[in-house]
Amino acid sequence: MLSAPTLIDLHRHLEGALRVPTILELAARDGHPLAGAADPEDLLVASGPLGGLVPFLTKVDAAPSAFSRLEDWERAAHEVVSDAAADGLSYLELRFSPWFVRQESGLAPEGVIDAIVDGVSAASRESGLPVGLIGILLRDLGPEQGVAQVETLLSRRDVFCAVDLAGNEAGVPAAEFAPAFARARDAGLHVTVHAGEAAGPQSVWDAVTYLGAERIGHGVRSVEDPQLLEHLAARGITLEVALTSNLHTSVVPGYREHPVHALLAAGVPVALATDDPRASAITLSGEYEAARHQVGLSEDQIELIRRAAYEARFLSPGESLVQ
25 confidence band (pLDDT: 50, 70, 90): very high
* pLDDT at residue 198, as a whole number: 84
CA dihedral 170, 164, 245, 90 (to 10 degrees): 170
Residue 199 lies in a domain: yes
* pLDDT at residue 172, as a whole number: 79
Q: Does the pLDDT at position 264 exceed 60?
A: yes
* pLDDT at residue 274, as a whole number: 98
Residue 227 lies in a domain: yes
- Residue 93: give its domain's CATH number: 3.20.20.140
Query: Which of the pair, 88 or 59, is modelled with greater confidence?
Result: 88
The three state secondary structure string of the chain is CCCCCCCEEEEEECCCCCCHHHHHHHHHHHCCHHHHCCCHHHHHCCCCCCCCHHHHHHHHHCCHHHCCCHHHHHHHHHHHHHHHHHCCCCEEEEEECHHHHHHHHCCCHHHHHHHHHHHHHHHHHHHCCCEEEEEEEEHHHCHHHHHHHHHHHHCCHHHEEEEEEECCCCCCCHHHHHHHHHHHHHCCCEEEEEECCCCCHHHHHHHHHHHCCCEEEECHHHHHCHHHHHHHHHHCCEEEECHHHHHHCCCCCCCCCCCHHHHHHCCCCEEECCECHHHHCCCHHHHHHHHHHHHCCCHHHHHHHHHHHHHHCCCCCCCCCCC
Cα–Cα distances (Å) from 235 to 57, 176, 212, 232, 268, in that order, read: 30, 23, 12, 5, 9
Residue 317 lies in a domain: no
Residue 251 lies in a domain: yes
Nearest alpha carbon to residue 84 among 17, 26, 164: 17
Its domain, for residue 280, covers: 8-312
- Cβ count near 257 (within 10 Å): 11
* pLDDT at residue 104, as a whole number: 94
pLDDT in tens, 218-245: 999 999 999 999 999 999 999 999 999 9
Q: Does the pLDDT at position 1 exceed 60?
A: no
Phi, psi at residue 276, to the nearest 5°? -135, 85
Q: Does the pLDDT at position 140 exceed 90?
A: no
* pLDDT at residue 8, as a whole number: 98
Work out how many domains the chain is built from and give that number. Answer: 1
Residue 322 lies in a domain: no
Annotated catalytic residue 257: no
* pLDDT at residue 285, as a whole number: 98
| Least trusted range by pLDDT, from 13-17, 166-170, 272-276 | 166-170
Q: Does the pLDDT at position 4 exceed 60?
A: no
Nearest alpha carbon to residue 279 among 59, 13, 62: 59
pLDDT in tens, 143-186: 999 999 999 999 999 999 999 999 877 777 899 999 999 999 99
Residue 3 lies in a domain: no
State the average pLDDT for the chain. Answer: 94
Q: Which of 197, 214, 240, 287 is catalytic?
A: 197
Q: Does the pLDDT at position 318 exceed 90?
A: no
Please, is 4 exposed, middle or buried when counting C-beta atoms within 10 Å of its C-beta (0-12, 13-18, 19+)? exposed
Prediction pTM value: 0.95
Residue 48 lies in a domain: yes
317 confidence band (pLDDT: 50, 70, 90): low
pLDDT in tens, 77-109: 999 999 999 999 999 999 999 999 999 999 999
Residue 1 lies in a domain: no
Work out the average pLDDT over 101-118. Answer: 97
